[in-house]
Structure 1
Amino acid sequence: MKVTSKLFGWMTGFLIIMVALYWITSHDPTGTAALIMATGLSGLICFYLGFTAHRIAPGPDDRADAEPHEGAGDQGFFSPTSWWPLMLCLALAATFLGIAVGFWLMYFAAPFALFGVYGFVFEYYRGENKHY
């Protein structure tokens, strides 16, 4: 995690320089705002990974003497099949489309977005995939 944290730290520094250069050369507030948000997100990831790396033992990717087989095995749990992300993305797309087209669309799409969030979060708490 320390390697990844350093990578995002370097990317955050690069983006800070790019924000300044972009603003000086273009004076475009929209692009500058987008780069500032990307810088903030990169900084958040850098902080989180660095904070987490101090709390846990170093992994094989953090040690110079590590062997490739040390990183083998389960890396986490990933859902094999799930339709909830599709439901959530379509509902959120319709919700954000309501901002551009008209707020009336948001009133119809927001309940589907909330239902998609609910289903995505509680996917493994009920049904055939229930975890105990």
Structure 2
Amino acid sequence: MKQETWMFVVCTAFFVLVTPAYWFITGDWTGTSALTMTALLTLMVALYLGVHAARMDPRPEDRKDGEIADGAGELGFFPPYSWWPLWCALTLSTCVFAVAMQTWWLFIIGGAIGIVTLSGWIFEYYRGEHAH
């Protein structure tokens, strides 16, 4: 995680240097605010990764003597296919469309269907073919 930390530290330094230059050149407060927030967000991620990198044992890619075989083993759980993200996206698009058109009855219907689709996505591994 040390490599990732340094990547975000470099990005933070870049945004800290670019932000005042942008303000002096353009005088635009909106872009300056966005660049300031970007610098603060990259600093936050760098601090998070740095704290966790100091607490945990070095990963094989962080060690000088690390081998490819050191990283072998189970990487995690990768879910099979799922239709629930499609239905959640369609429900969300219905809700956004309802807000844009100011039709609150459609938003309520979309919200109700959204509760069902989000529940289905969350609990899909508790029932059916992929239950465990």
TM-score (norm 2): 0.69
Write the mapping of 1:4-23 to structure 2, written as runs, cut at 5 A.
Answer: 4-23=4-23
Q: Which moved more, 1:40-49 or 1:5-14?
A: 40-49
Point out where structure 1 has 5 or more consecutive residues left out of the alignment: none
Partner Cα distance (1:9, 1:38) in 2: 12
Q: Partner of 2:110 in structure 1?
A: 109
Query: For 1:2-52, what per-residue CA distance to the aligned partner results, in whole angstroms no more than 9, with x for missing partners?
Result: 2223223332343444455555527273x5666566555544543443343
Instruction: Give the distance between the partners of 1:90 and 1:36, measured in 2 at CA.
Output: 35
Identify the range of structure 1 (84-93 vs 56-65) with the bigger mean alpha-carbon deviation.
84-93
Cα RMSD of the aligned pairs, angstroms, is: 3.0
Runs of 4 or more consecutive aligned structure 1 residues displaced over 6 Å after TM superposition: none
Distance 1:16 1:129 in 2: 48
Deviation at 1:66, TM superposition (A): 0.8
- Aligned-pair distance for 1:79? 1.1
Structure 1 CA distance for aligned equivalents of residues 15 and 110 of structure 2: 35
Q: Which amino acid aligns with 2:92?
A: L
Paired residues in the alignment total 130
Q: Is the radius of gyration larger for structure 1 or structure 2?
A: 2
Answer yes or no: is the 8 Å Cα contact 1:3–1:61 preserved in 2. no
- Whichever residue aligns with residue 94 of structure 1, its letter is T
Q: Tell me the distance in 2 between the aligned counterparts of 1:116 and 1:22.
A: 45
Query: 1:53: which partner in 2?
Result: 53
Task: Using the aligned pairs only, state the percent identity.
Answer: 39
What residue identity is the alignment partner of 2:90? L
Q: What's the secondary structure of 1:125's corresponding residue?
A: coil
Q: Indicate if the aligned counterparts of 1:124 and 1:130 stay in contact, CA closer than 8 A.
A: yes
3-state SS in 2 of match to 1:123: coil
Partner residue of 2:119? 118
Distance 1:44 1:23, change over 3 A: same
Deviates more, 1:5-14 or 1:121-130: 5-14
Q: Compare the two structures and name the one with the higher helix fraction.
A: 1
